[in-house]
Structures are given as structure tokens and as C-alpha cells.
Chain A
């Protein structure tokens, strides 16, 4: 698999803030690469440097081995987190306008069907709901049959049903061999969609790899979770890693039966105990010491 994209030593310095601090990574062709991190981690700035819409203080971006330039703009599709479309234009006119800006053309009817925009084609852009707008933004990102698609927090603000529909759509795009770079702060989204992730915090990449591999390397066993208020006394004598997180006690256990046995005398109410797999949120908390959505 060849490298579709390489970011090399990207730095973005704003007055008083180092937003991106020497970030480097490569993305193989055909995968979905997730850039995760809390608000302000630097992921949107990093992606916008790669997209060419924000100039880097230093660093370089390579697209299929060559410095990203005109070919990159022709072949990349971008769905921005915050953007606007022209007022008074319909969905169809918007798609047609953007398609004419490229030499590469996708089959517009297929995109309209894939993004479920068929019933909205004659609707004014201003009259679209949040989910409809996101689908239109995605469709705009696909009008040039891109080899590389950027999705910047595409499901922020969508209801759970709309989010899941969007995931299906992204998976359909991925199935065509298109490389996807996704930024999100939804860990479940990253876990479902991404083949590989990079976690950013304070402008740096602090961990990188396939999600399951990162979790396997970091954690052994399951997490027992219970509300702090259900505990009577302390947990002295229980030989497991313990985390206190927003009123919840989390205990990492490689032998759940033994752990529960040791825990039972200290717990008033066993009904609220949960046992679950470690997830990317746990990983992030471990790595940075603060919550992903803080």
C-alpha cells in the first residue's frame, strides 16, 4: 500500500500559542485515518495546514510522494467543520457550481443518491437542517471523485440516528478505496470508522496506531466501574489500578471474578456495577490526564 499523504514536521505558531508542535505522520492509501483530540488540541489546525487553507509556520506536506500543490487540490475533497455556502442557491446548483471548479468529475447522480439528497435538490441552502447540511457538505467534498477526503468533525451537532447514518455513508466511501482523514472528538466514531488513529494533545501527537492495537498494548483485562457514592470505606487492599473520574471509580482487572469478590464487602449497592472493555476515552485519559471533551 503506498503512502497517500505525509505530514512532515508541521509547526503552527500563533502569537503566544504554539497550536501545532512538530507534527509528523503518514497515511496509507485507502485507509481511514483518525486525528483525535479535545477542542484546542490542534487537530483542525493540523488538518487545515495539510488542506492548504492555513499556512504553516514550518513543515511540509507530501501527496503521493510530491509536495502538495495543484494536483492535491484537484484530487482532494474537503468537508470543513465550519463553513458556509452561498445564499439563495439550491442544493443542485451548489453541487453543480463546485463540480465545475474541478477537472475531475464524479457522477453527480450517484453522489446525490449516496448522500440522500434526492428530495432536497431544489431546496435553498439556507433552509437545510443540520444533518442535511452535513450531507450536502460531504457531497460537495465528493464532486471531484476525490482520492483523499478530509472530514473535519462531520457529525458534531447531529442526533444519534443521523450520526449512525453518516457513519454508514463514510464506510461506503471507504469501500471504494478512497483515503479518508477524519478529525473527531467522538471516540466511538473513531473506533467504528478508523483503521488508524493519532491522538493529539496540546499541539502534539501523543499516540498513534490502529485503535484496537493501541488499547491492547495499553490495557490488559476489563474495567469494573461503579459510582463512588456506592462505596463504603476505602479500597485499601484491592490490588488493582484505580481511577476516580467524575464520581466514578474504575478498576482495571485481569480476573473479574476475583476482583468482584474482593470488592463486594466495600460496596453498598452492587446493582450499579458495570463491567466493560477499555476504550479510546480511557486511553486518552491515561495519556493526558484530562477528559477528551474538556
Chain B
């Protein structure tokens, strides 16, 4: 069995590596994105800020301050000050304000959106006396590039796994290559295993290269262990490849496969926190995001890189990703068809 898996694994690797255009795009695209965001900060994905309001109640009274009536700002009640600080540090809140008698606000100096939210607050506050005071965050604010790097690496991994496996399997099915393999002793699970192994290895190499390049040049933050980060990458990649295989299990049209893969990948890209935090989004949206493997990959990668999380800390996300992988692989193997029949 291993001999057959190895043969298909090697052949797929060669096919990928020799397709220079695809390989170059896989490496260059995330690098360009990271550098672009790091130097220009022009990649803000939405025109809405998220501001935490430090207060004891869970309801925000917009009459309390004119700032709370600002449009295009999502106001989120924050009852725990330490939690609020942490969210500001990690770009999950653009600004944290405490209104009432002793008005204060906290902003991450590395956050471009925080800067604009601060301007809006000061402008609104001037209308009612201008008494709000800026306070220092006691923690260690992270730069936006540090926060967004795991998102871009995860997004690249997602596209590479979903399209690199899902789309390719559908192409193999459509051009008859799968039919040719079916006429050999190769079994479906051996073929699937070879695809997972091949993509896993290639994605890990590409991701490591991109990470290393950005880390060396931009001195990105890494508070945790590389072993934990590697585990996140491996488990996350397996989950993504498995999802790609499930989508491609019996689709015979490349157009349909492309549509399905886009239908899966775009919501993941938007809702899993690649570009911005979902803090302030409704519970339904946050619940939906928990179903996506990318959410767990990014949460655990950020926890390791920005907070120094240990293997134990990220265990829940790893378990969730493993369960998702098993479900995707099981369903994918069950529905898998070599040909259109």
C-alpha cells in the first residue's frame, strides 16, 4: 500500500513543483500581501470600526455620549477591563472607551483603525466639553502586521489546499486520469492519502518560506514555540485538504468545483478573522465562524505567535480541527467516485 501511495505522492509533487506559474503565485501572493499591508496599511477591508464601551451593564445607552451615536462604528459592551485591554492589544477592538464621569479611552498605537476611531472620539467629545483622557494600556500592544500575518498565511494555506486538491481532483476526473488510476490496484483511500500527504508537504514548505521571509525582514512577533505553530499548520492543513477532497468527491465539472470552492473559501476568508476581528458581530455569525477550520487555525496561530500559547492552550482548537478533518475525510471517502458514474 505504502509503495502505491508513495508513487502517487511523488508524481503529484513533481506536477506541482514543475508548474512554475502556480508555484510562483503560491509563494508571491502572500508575500506581496504582507508587505503591502505592512508598509502601506492600505488593506483595511471594511469601513466600520469596533469600539468597546467599558461599563457594568450589557446594554449600551447611546444617549450617554454623542460618540455612541456615530455611524459606521460597532459599539460592543465590555464589562471586564483586562479583557478589554487585551482585545485592544490584539486588534480585536479598535478602541476602548469608558464614558460617564471619568471619561477615558485606550488605543493601540500600532492600530491604524484605532487611530481613526480615536480621531472620531475626540471630535465627538469636543462637542460636550472635551474631557475624555487618553490612558496607557498596561500590556504589550502588537503591530497590525503581526496580527495580520497569521491571517494571510492561513488564507494562503486555505486557497492552496482547497483549490490545489479540490480543483485538481476534479480535473483528474474530468480528463480521465482518475479512470486510468481506477483500473490499477490503487484504492481510493490510498489515492486520497497520497493527495493529503503531497499537499501537506508542499503547503508546509511554502508557508515556512513565506513566514521566514516576512519574519526576517519585518521582525514579526513570535512569542510561542515553533513546535506549537508547526502543529497548528499540520493539523490545519489536513483539515483544509480534507475539505477540498470532500468538495471534489464526485464533482465532474471544473466550473462547478470552482463555484463550490469559492462558496466555501470566501465566507471563511471574511468570517474567520483573516483581515479583521469578528468582535462585535452577532452571535449567529460568530457561531458560524466556529464551524470553519480557518477560524480555529487563525485563533490558535495568533495565540501561539502573539500570546505565547502552549500546546495545552491550543488543544481545544486542535481537537476541533481533528474532528473536522475526520468528518471531511470520512464523508469524502464515502462519496468519492473515480469517474462520473
Smallest beta-carbon distance A206→chain B, Å: 26
Asked whether any CB of chain A lies closer than 8 Å to the CB of B251, the reply is: no
Chain B residues, CB < 8 A from A54 = 339, 341
Cα A202 to Cα B328 with chains together (Å): 42
Smallest beta-carbon distance B339→chain A, Å: 6
Verify A87–B182 contact, CB threshold 8 A.
no
Smallest beta-carbon distance A75→chain B, Å: 10
Cross-chain pairs A/B with CB under 8 angstroms, 5 sampled: A52-B182, A84-B172, A84-B180, A102-B184, A102-B185
Cα A93 to Cα B17 with chains together (Å): 14
Asked whether any CB of chain A lies closer than 8 Å to the CB of B63, the reply is: no
Residues of A within 8 A of B (CB): 51-55, 70, 73-74, 76, 78, 80, 82-89, 93-94, 96-98, 100-103, 140
Asked whether any CB of chain A lies closer than 8 Å to the CB of B270, the reply is: no
Verify A70–B7 contact, CB threshold 8 A.
no
Cα A97 to Cα B10 with chains together (Å): 8
Q: Is the interface of A mostly helix, strand, loop or mixed?
A: loop
Chain A residues, CB < 8 A from B18 = 88
Asked whether any CB of chain A lies closer than 8 Å to the CB of B19, the reply is: yes
Counting chain B residues whose Cβ lies within 8 A of the other chain, the interface size class is 20 to 34
Q: Is the interface of B mostly helix, strand, loop or mixed?
A: helix
Verify A73–B341 contact, CB threshold 8 A.
no
Verify A74–B185 contact, CB threshold 8 A.
yes
Verify A73–B184 contact, CB threshold 8 A.
yes
Chain B residues, CB < 8 A from A74 = 185
Chain B residues, CB < 8 A from A53 = 179, 182-183, 338-339
Smallest beta-carbon distance B218→chain A, Å: 34
Chain B residues, CB < 8 A from A76 = 183
Asked whether any CB of chain A lies closer than 8 Å to the CB of B256, the reply is: no
Cα A16 to Cα B192 with chains together (Å): 34
Verify A100–B4 contact, CB threshold 8 A.
yes
Smallest beta-carbon distance A279→chain B, Å: 33
Smallest beta-carbon distance B88→chain A, Å: 49
Taking each of B3, B12, B180, which has the highest tally of chain A beta carbons within 10 Å of its own beta carbon?
B180
Cα A85 to Cα B4 with chains together (Å): 17
